[in-house]
Each structure stands twice: as structure tokens, then as C-alpha cells.
Amino acid sequence: MARELIVFPDLQAAFAPQYFGSVEYYAVMSAFGRVYIDTDMPADKRLKTAHRCSVVDTRDEIMLTVPIVHPHGRHSWNETPISTHGRWTHVHRTALESAYGRTAFFEYYIDRLSQVFDCDYSDHKITVGQLDRTCDSIIRDILKIDNDVVYGSPYEDVHKDYRRIRSFDPAPVSYYQLRADRLGFRWGQSILDLIFNLGPEAPLILRQISNNILFTDNDL
């Protein structure tokens, strides 16, 4: 299934880094033959997804935010340290258990995230760029996304540049969500929402979503 996710094997695209990026983010990114996740791009306060993701809890959507240290002057995501403020690793792990502990695949995948939540961030040496690269590597391994990926600024012209897109428009494709009968279906959630709910069927949904988003793009 992994190779079938690649719709445009000869095209390149650039993306901003995201913390456990959205379902739509991964649907689009997995369709290109080579992608650049630009951890060297300037840290933009408006691009909150670099250190924030959305999940569906028992009552509503909640935002999981990684606290950061703001260096003086202009800096990239690779130069933006992560803070331990608010014991965020514990908060995020607990929130995911509350949100997805009853899903079919939570127990199967949650330990795969240990390299994020068990890491020591106290010395401020780990940056947002490094964290997002780790998250992306975990997701790629789980979903078997095997297009070429470069973590850094593009060294060639890219066909599509998505680095300034804050969020992708939701595609009219829904999937099973644990609490959809009570809360309604929620688009734009972290890729973890899809993985915990659907497990190995997640790539099938990614392909459906990428078809809906990309085949309405006149530049492709």
C-alpha cells in the first residue's frame, strides 16, 4: 500500500514541519515522490502547527501544545528550543490516553511514541525542528510512507510549495472516529486520530483524501 500512496512520483513538494501533523497534511505529503520538510525555515508564530496538534477528547477537540523557548532575533525551527514548562510530555501522553484509550489500536501504537514522551527536554538542547523530525519518522514508519524525505530547505525547485499553508482544507472524506456518534465527525485532526482509530487501514483513507484534495488542484 505504501507505494500506492505516491500519486506524483516525479514531483517534489515543500512543507513546514508539524507536530504530529494533521491527517490532511500527511495525505498530501505522501502523494509526492520527494518532499522537503523545511525545519530550517524561519520560526513563524502564526504557524502554530509546528508545535501544536488537535485531537478529539471525550467532550470536544483539544489542542496539545509543546512549550517553546523564544530565542532573541530571527531564528529557524531548528534553532527554537523546547521547554519542559507544564510537564507537557506527561500532559500529552495522558490526554492521548483519555482521548483514544478505548480505540482499537491505541495499545498497539502508543509505545511507538515513547521516544517523544520519554525524552529529556530539560537542557533546552532539543529544538522544535528536531522534535518534528522525530514525530514524522514515527508516523512514516507506522504508515509505511516511503517517498523520499529531506529535513531542511529545498535544494532544488519544487513543484508545490506548501510551507506557508497553516492548514489544508478538509476533504469530504470521513472515517471512523470513536465519538463521532456523539460529537459529530471532526476534520483536521492529528494523524494520531486516524492511526488510533483505524490502525493498518489508515493508508486507505490517506489515499482517498489525497485524491480529493490534489485532483482539484489545477497546478498538478
In a domain, 217, yes or no: no
Pairwise CA distance, residues 84 & 89, whole Å:
8
CA–chain centroid gap for 178, Å, is 20
In a domain, 6, yes or no: no
Name the pairing type of β-strands 52-56 and 61-65. antiparallel
The model's pTM: 0.94
pLDDT of residue 73: 78
pLDDT of residue 2: 55
Q: What is the DSSP letter of 92?
A: H
CA–chain centroid gap for 24, Å, is 9
25, 15 contact by CB (below 8 A): yes
In a domain, 212, yes or no: no
In a domain, 220, yes or no: no
Domain of 21 in residue numbering reads as 11-203
Cα torsion through 174, 62, 47, 209, rounded to 10 = -10
The pLDDT tens digits for 112-140 are 999 999 999 988 889 999 999 999 999 99
How many structural domains does the chain have?
1
In a domain, 129, yes or no: yes
pLDDT of residue 216: 67
Amino acid at 140: R
pLDDT of residue 100: 96
In a domain, 180, yes or no: yes
Segments of the chain with pLDDT less than 50: none
In a domain, 213, yes or no: no
Name the pairing type of β-strands 8-15 and 32-37. parallel
In a domain, 150, yes or no: yes
Q: How many CB atoms lie within 10 A of CB 135?
A: 23
Q: Which residues contact 95 (CB under 8 A, 6 or more apart)?
A: 55, 57, 62, 64
pLDDT of residue 220: 64
**Angle formed at CA 92 by CA 89 and CA 97, multiple of 5 degrees:** 125
pLDDT of residue 219: 63
